[in-house]
Amino acid sequence: MITAILLYCALGAIAGVLAGLLGIGGGAVIVPMLVFSFQWLNISPEVAMHMAIGTSFGSIMFTSISSAMAHHKHGGVDWHVFRCIALGILVGTYGGSFIAARIPARYLQMFFVVFLYYVATNMLLNKKPSASRELPGFAGMTGAGAVIGAVSSLVGIGGGTLSVPFLVWHNMDMRRAVGTSAAMGFPIAFAGCLGFVTNGWNNPELPPYALGYLYLPALAGIVAVSMLTAPIGAGIAHKLPVPKLKKFFAFFLYFIATKMLIDVL
């Protein structure tokens, strides 16, 4: 168990830096590593994946707060955009968690892989969105938030993978998009965590110290370290030139897309 806790702390350190640097929750790193650790602890494979996603969402709640506050100090969060999109994110993520708990997300993952490759390529080629393209109104932002939240819950990936490209595509500065996405991570994580706790309640396959699909020992280890390292990532993001930050994010998207493609195949 001590080795497992050290692993959870290491995951927290990585997740915190990624949250601050790229405005994502770090679920792409946390989920597969949690699955590995759960298998090592002989937790039933019937619940391991759902527990990994639920625990990842639980950790992102805390990481996103630390990351968003660090970006806020740099003036890097658009709170108006956050308020417009938060409702849609809450509804989409919570609803999506019920679907995720019941069906495999194979076909959605394939679509998502193609989407990520497309977005990453556009970022590397530095394709500029139309100068007249602006963020939609409240109804449009609510709809966009619902899609971002639903996809996040179904594929177990933090919302920043979608929200940063969405904001940049609508002419938001890259650094500000990263900071705003970090703030958007909280409603995504809150709704996702609540959904996975609800759907896992009273599952007989769950190990001790599990609250639905939320595994409390892993949550404690990840949160303890990630809240310390998130401000470090945010500081790096505001020092990096925007073109380099864009390239870094694009290569990260390629990594996520390739990993998901391998998982599906």
For residue range 198-255, list pLDDT tens digits in order: 989 989 999 999 999 999 999 998 888 888 888 888 888 888 887 787 788 788 778 8
pLDDT-derived band at 21, boundaries 50, 70, 90: confident
Helix or strand or coil: residue 121?
helix
Specify whether the CB–CB gap between 223 and 10 falls below 8 A.
no
pLDDT at 108: 59
Q: Which of the pair, 116 or 229, is modelled with greater confidence?
A: 229
Query: What's the longest Cα–Cα distance across the chain?
Result: 55
Q: Is the pLDDT of residue 105 over 60?
A: no
Q: How far apart are CA 213 and CA 246, in angstroms?
A: 34
User: In the chain, where are the structural domains located?
Assistant: 2-264
Q: How far apart are CA 27 and CA 43, in angstroms?
A: 20
Q: How far apart are CA 265 and CA 250, in angstroms?
A: 22
Name beta bridge partners: 215.
210
pLDDT at 36: 79
Residue in the structure block whose two tokens are 């949690």: 34
Q: Which of the pair, 4 or 131, is modelled with greater confidence?
A: 4
Helix or strand or coil: residue 123?
helix
Return all residues near 127 (Cβ < 8 A) that are at least 6 apart: none
Distinct helix (H) and strand (E) counts, the chain: 10, 2
> What are all long-range contacts of 257-264, with beta carbons under 8 Å and residues at least 24 apart?
257/112, 257/113, 257/116, 257/117, 257/120, 259/28, 259/32, 260/109, 260/112, 260/113, 260/116, 260/155, 260/157, 261/110, 261/113, 263/109, 264/106, 264/109, 264/110, 264/113
Return all residues near 3 (Cβ < 8 A) that are at least 6 apart: none
Which amino acid is located at 263 in the chain?
A: D
Structure tokens that stand for 135 in this block: 């963020």
pLDDT at 88: 95
pLDDT-derived band at 142, boundaries 50, 70, 90: very high
Q: Is the pLDDT of residue 116 over 90?
A: no
Mean pLDDT for 137-152 is: 91
Cα angle 243, 241, 10 (rounded to 5 degrees) comes to: 100
Structure tokens that stand for 215 in this block: 């595994």
Q: Is the pLDDT of residue 22 over 80?
A: no
pLDDT-derived band at 83, boundaries 50, 70, 90: very high
Q: Is the pLDDT of residue 180 over 90?
A: yes
Q: Which of the pair, 174 or 265, is modelled with greater confidence?
A: 174
Q: Which of the pair, 102 or 213, is modelled with greater confidence?
A: 213
Residue in the structure block whose two tokens are 């409240």: 138
Lowest mean pLDDT among 99-108, 120-129, 158-167: 99-108
| % of the chain surpassing 90 pLDDT | 25
| % of the chain surpassing 70 pLDDT | 89
Q: What is the overall mean pLDDT for the chain?
A: 84
pTM of the model: 0.78
